[in-house]
Amino acid sequence: MSIDLAPDLAPSGRLRAAINLGNPVLAQRHADGRISGVSAALARALAARHGLPVELHPFDTAGAAFAALASGTCDNNFHAGEPPRAQEIGFTTPYVVIEGTCLVRAGSPITDIAAIDAPGLRIAAGRNSAYDLHLSRTLRHATLVHAGSSEAAIETFARDGLDMAAGVRQPLEAYAAANPGVRVLPGGFMRIEQAMAVPRGRPAALSLVETFLTEMKRNGMIRFGLDASGQWDAAVAG
């Protein structure tokens, strides 16, 4: 790594990567504490390419991972490129695309994702997740109930009798498979475009990470990382 890029990419001399465990499509923590998934694999590959030691900083929510990056505690993370976040951190182009959709009760009259914004409906969502930010901007009639995390949103939906839980399709489908009394709506209310991000004011780091990510998409590393962690139905961004 050229010396002029070192302060931008890893000011501490170690690449500190924020890993959002709240999105199981991108990252997973195992019983022994090991962290895997495509985001962890990318962080390790980026550090290895530039001869840097890597530190994985796991967070349970997207909001906490975002705060670590915005404050400079971490050097990169893996986030959906939501407009409110782009005011405080710099994003690459997307590398993975996932779908935001809703979980409803098996007997719910709601069968179409287009029908979720109706008066009287209550939707649980993990606070400061990509879909929470999106629904906060776009809902006009339904009420958004913020939970502490994506997992807590499902618990709130189940416990408090809410009409829906919003989230990433894959974990919602996993929950529905284990709980016959609920189902996931077909289609989605948003495409969640996952990108890598760096703190604002580090243009050299952002350019370097963009170049790295483009190569990882082309050489199949991102597809391999998704498949190796069981995320076969997640799409690599074009």
Give 196's contacts (C-beta < 8 A, 6+ positions apart): 42, 76, 77, 78, 91, 92, 95, 209, 213
Does the structure show a pLDDT above 90 at 94? yes
Contact, 95 vs 236, CB < 8 A? yes
- Residues 112-168: pLDDT tens digits? 999 999 999 999 999 989 899 999 999 999 999 999 999 999 999 999 999 999 999
Supply the DSSP symbol for 21. T
- Kindly list the structural domains of the chain, giving each domain's residue range(s) and its CATH number in brackets, ordered by start: 6-96+194-236 (3.40.190.10), 97-190 (3.40.190.10)
Q: Which of 19, 16, 20 is nearest to 74 (CA)?
A: 16
Give 119's contacts (C-beta < 8 A, 6+ positions apart): 141, 142
| Rounded mean pLDDT, 181-207 | 94
- Cα–Cα distance measured from residue 130 to residue 213, given in angstroms and rounded to the nearest whole number: 21
End-to-end CA distance of the chain: 27
What is the token pair recorded at 52? 């840097």
Would you state the pLDDT for residue 2?
43
Would you state the pLDDT for residue 3?
43
Contact, 199 vs 85, CB < 8 A? no
Q: From the CA atom positions of the chain, what is the Rg in Å?
A: 18
pTM of the predicted protein model: 0.86
